[in-house]
A = this chain, B = another copy of it.
Amino acid sequence: MTHRIAVIPGDGIGNEVMPEGLRVLEAVAKRFDIDLAFEHFDFACCDYYAKHGKMMPDDWFEQLKDFDAIFYGAVGWPDTVPDHISLWGSLLQFRRQFDQYINLRPCKLLPGIKSPLADRKPGDIDFYVVRENTEGEYSSVGGKMFEGTEREVVIQETVMTRHGTDRVLKFAFELAQSRPRKKLTSATKSNGIAITMPWWDERVVAMSGNYPEVSVDKFHIDILTANFVMHPDWFDVVVASNLFGDILSDLGPACTGTIGVAPSANINPEGKFPSLFEPVHGSAPDIAGKGIANPIGQIWSGALMLEHLGHKAAAKAIVDAFEAVLEEADPAVLTPDIRGQGTTQTLGKAIAERV
């Protein structure tokens, strides 16, 4: 069985880390005899916008909808295209139109990567953030009144649905139930955000009835971010709305020192549409073109993709490979962000060889 993968490098360092992501996928596909068919696309990036005045062709949905997965680099080039245009014209379209309602991000302390937290070692921190990925605070509903005057009022609506909330909660409860600790933490702000968040809390309580083995707690988002720093070992699976999940899934990797290498999966669990796998980092205009971007985020995202496609052992082989290369810590191989003198390519090749 062939898995058809749409490859979209996007902007900036997306173009540099993507070849390494593919290199490692090819190596692992060979070893495990997996049939991956890659097809490359040049849209969903700001270069495309410069030429066509839009981020994607009108038939992007048709072009992509039958793929088994999308392997994405990074998008955004704020100097030429404002972020809210580039993102809403690409990544956020994929998430919504392909109903990738789960955003899943592992937060894990890796060997050889320095965490900014004191006294933590690999094994101490190992949790997932499950983020609602299609609705909530990320809406384009709202507008301005008395625009441009002293009386200007700007309104934006957060829109949550039972359909959208229950399905992300269900995914998170099932993930928690499948893990040894069986613990779920819900991010809320029901003391300040007085309509949507008390309702979110109610949905968590309702769903918990179906998962009696899972222990549930909740924190307001302010103290929850504080607890990520103070007690990262408390967490197993954290479930959050779109905005809160966005914050927590950057903060979590930051606490493990892995923000430059963290992966993310945008999943449509039913497989009705392709899911999308991308590193957490962006296009990084500051280092783009220098060939020094760390490719692990892209490579690790490839592992999440294989796992989603049903190849658990192959996914694990990738993670084992980059953990081994990190542990070895050869400065000639590692990129500068993790105290090496190597390049995107030296690190990508070393991981591919290890596989």
**Which residues does A use to contact B, with CB under 8 Å?**
76, 82-84, 87-88, 92, 115-119, 137-144, 149-163, 189-199, 221-223, 225-227, 229-230, 242-243, 246-247, 249-251, 253-255, 259
Looking at chain A's contact residues, the main secondary structure is mixed
The complex is assembled from copies of this chain, and their number is 2
User: Across the interface, which residues of B come within 8 angstroms of A192, CB to CB?
Assistant: 84, 87, 92, 137-138, 242-243, 246
* Contact B247–A144 (Cβ < 8 Å): no
Q: List 7 A-B contacts (CB under 8 A).
A: A84-B197, A117-B118, A142-B196, A153-B162, A155-B157, A221-B247, A226-B250
* Contact B230–A250 (Cβ < 8 Å): no
The CA-CA distance from A155 to B200 in the complex, in Å, is 12
* Contact A155–B153 (Cβ < 8 Å): no
* Contact A157–B142 (Cβ < 8 Å): yes
* Contact B157–A84 (Cβ < 8 Å): no
- With both beta carbons as reference points, the residue of chain B lying nearest to A251 in the complex is identified as B225
For the complex of A and B, the 3 pairs showing the least CB-CB separation, nearest first, are A226-B254, A83-B191, A152-B162
User: Across the interface, which residues of B come within 8 angstroms of A253, CB to CB?
Assistant: 226
* Contact B151–A195 (Cβ < 8 Å): no
- Closest chain B CB from A254 CB (angstroms): 3
* Contact B222–A251 (Cβ < 8 Å): yes
The CA-CA distance from A82 to B87 in the complex, in Å, is 38
* Contact B247–A225 (Cβ < 8 Å): yes
* Contact A150–B163 (Cβ < 8 Å): yes
- With both beta carbons as reference points, the residue of chain B lying nearest to A83 in the complex is identified as B191
The CA-CA distance from A247 to B349 in the complex, in Å, is 40
* Contact B156–A152 (Cβ < 8 Å): no
* Contact B250–A225 (Cβ < 8 Å): yes
The CA-CA distance from A142 to B246 in the complex, in Å, is 23
- With both beta carbons as reference points, the residue of chain B lying nearest to A282 in the complex is identified as B223
The CA-CA distance from A222 to B249 in the complex, in Å, is 8
